[in-house]
Amino acid sequence: MMFEGYKNKQIIIILVLVNVSLVYLLLYLDVISTSKCAEYFERPHARHKIRLRPVQFTFDMKNLSENDYKKLVDVEDFSFTILNEHACDSADIFLLIMVPSAPGHLEHRLNIRSTWGFPRKNVKLMFLLGMVTDDKLQEEIEIESKLHGDIIQGNFIDSYHNMTYKAVMSLKYVVYHCPKVLYILKMDDDSFVNTPLLLNFLSNDLSPYGAANLFLCNDMSRSPVIRNNRSKWYVPEDIYPDRFYPSYCSGWYAIFSPDVCFQLYEQSQNLKYLFIDDAFVYGIAASKANLKHTDMSRYTLAGKNPNFLFDGKYDKMRLLFGSPNMNVKLIKRFWEYFRGKPVPLTIGDSVL
C-alpha cells in the first residue's frame, strides 16, 4: 500500500512537470510566432515600443509643405551653408549624435571627437552651427568641416536667441539626410556621455532594431514663463501667453526615435518662434504632437556634484550622462575614469 501511494505521488509529479513544460512550450511558440509577424513589442508600463525585427521607418513627407526644405520655423529662405549631406550614407547608422555647438567652441569639438564621441562603427557624430560674421572664423570652420566631415551649418546668425533655429535644423537634417537612423541623441557640447553604456542600453535594454515613440530626457515640469524683462529668459505675453510651459525636456540632452523626431519637426515648422529652444521643441511642439517623455534624471549627475564621482560616491549608479555646463577638463577626466571600468551590459533595472 505504501509503495502504491509512493507510485501515485510519482505519477502526479510527472504530470505536473509535463503540464508545466507544455505551458512553457506554448509560450515559447507564441513568442516566436509573434516575433515573425509583429513589428513592435510594447511593454505595459512604458510609453515606447521596441522593434522585434529590422523594419525601415519612413517619414510621412506629404504632411510637410512644398517649400518645407527652404523653411525653418518662420524663416522662408533657409539653406544649409555647410551640409555634409552624405554623412549617413556610408553604413546603417545605429545612433546619430547631434551636438549644437558655438562656432568658437573648437576646443569643445576636438575634445568630444577624442573622448566620448570618437569614431565607432554605426555611430555618427555631427555638430550644428550657425553663421558667423568673422570671415577668418568662417574659413576655419570650413577647413574643420573638410577635415572631419561632421559639421552642419545653417544660414542664420549663431546667437543665443537663434538657438531654436539650430535645434529645428538638427531635426530637419535627420528627416532629409539621415532617415535610416535607429536612435537619435541630442547632446550639448559641454557635457559627457558614457557612450559604451549608452550603446548597451539602446541595444539590450531597448532593441538593436530601434524603437517607436521613444522620448527620453531629464524632465522639466511646471516651469513658469519669465515675464521680468531684465531676465535673459524673458518672454512677453504676445509671444507666449500661458503662465507655464508644457512639461518639457531639459535641453542639454534628449534621446528619441525617428518617428518622434519627425513629429517634433513637423510641429516646430508650424509654430510661432520662441527662442527658448528646449521649451519650444521638447515642450510646445511635443505637446502639439501629443508626445510624452520619460524622465531619465536618475541616470545623470544633473543637480549633483560631479566631482563626487571620483570618490566612489556614485559607483552603484548606471551613469549614462554627466551634467550640464561641464568644462573640457572635467569631461576628459570623466572619460578617463570610465575607460578604466567594465561596461555593464544593461542599466540593470526595468524602469523602462
Go through the domains of the chain in sequence order and give each one's CATH number. 61-339 (3.90.550)
Mean pLDDT of the chain: 89
Highest averaged pLDDT of the listed ranges 33-37, 86-90, 221-225: 221-225
Q: Are residues 331 and 111 in contact, defined by beta-carbon separation less than 8 angstroms?
A: yes
136-144 mean pLDDT:
98
Cα separation, 141 vs 83, in Å, equals 12
Cα separation, 253 vs 297, in Å, equals 11
Q: In this predicted structure, what is the pLDDT of residue 35? A: 42
Q: In this predicted structure, what is the pLDDT of residue 278? A: 97
- Give the whole-number percent of the chain exceeding pLDDT 70: 86
Contacts of 184 (CB under 8 A, 6+ apart): 95, 96, 98, 174, 255, 256, 257, 258, 261
Residue 285 pLDDT more than 50? Answer: yes
Q: Look up residue 116 and give its amino acid.
A: W
Q: In this predicted structure, what is the pLDDT of residue 19? A: 57
96-112 mean pLDDT:
98
Give SS3 for 187: strand
Q: What angle do CA 290, 293, 299 make, to 5 degrees?
A: 175
pLDDT in tens, 326-349: 999 999 999 999 998 899 999 975
Q: Look up residue 301 and give its amino acid.
A: L
Residue 1 pLDDT more than 80? Answer: no
Residue 53 pLDDT more than 50? Answer: yes
Q: What is the DSSP letter of 183?
A: E
Q: In this predicted structure, what is the pLDDT of residue 9? A: 56
C-beta atoms surrounding 324 within 10 Å: 17
Q: In this predicted structure, what is the pLDDT of residue 321? A: 97
Cα separation, 335 vs 264, in Å, equals 31
Strand-strand pairing, 40-42 and 49-51: antiparallel
- Give the whole-number percent of the chain exceeding pLDDT 90: 76
Of residues 20 and 269, the one with the higher pLDDT is 269
Q: In this predicted structure, what is the pLDDT of residue 44? A: 42
Residue 54 confidence class, pLDDT cut points 50, 70, 90: confident
| Burial (0-12, 13-18, 19+ Cβ within 10 Å), 38 | middle
pLDDT in tens, 177-194: 999 999 999 999 999 999
Q: In this predicted structure, what is the pLDDT of residue 89? A: 87
Q: Any idea which residue has 500661458 for its cell?
A: 242
Highest averaged pLDDT of the listed ranges 80-94, 127-141, 297-311, 331-345: 127-141
Q: Are residues 306 and 322 in contact, defined by beta-carbon separation less than 8 angstroms?
A: yes
Residue 33 confidence class, pLDDT cut points 50, 70, 90: very low
Q: In this predicted structure, what is the pLDDT of residue 17? A: 53
Q: Are residues 96 and 173 in contact, defined by beta-carbon separation less than 8 angstroms?
A: no
Q: Look up residue 249 and give its amino acid.
A: C
261-277 mean pLDDT:
98
Q: Any idea which residue has 523653411 for its cell?
A: 71
- Using N-to-C axis directions, what is the helix angle for 163-177 and 258-268, rounded to 10°? 130
Q: Are residues 194 and 122 in contact, defined by beta-carbon separation less than 8 angstroms?
A: no
Radius of gyration of the chain (CA): 24
pLDDT in tens, 194-244: 999 999 999 999 999 999 999 999 999 999 999 999 999 999 999 999 999
Residue 317 confidence class, pLDDT cut points 50, 70, 90: confident
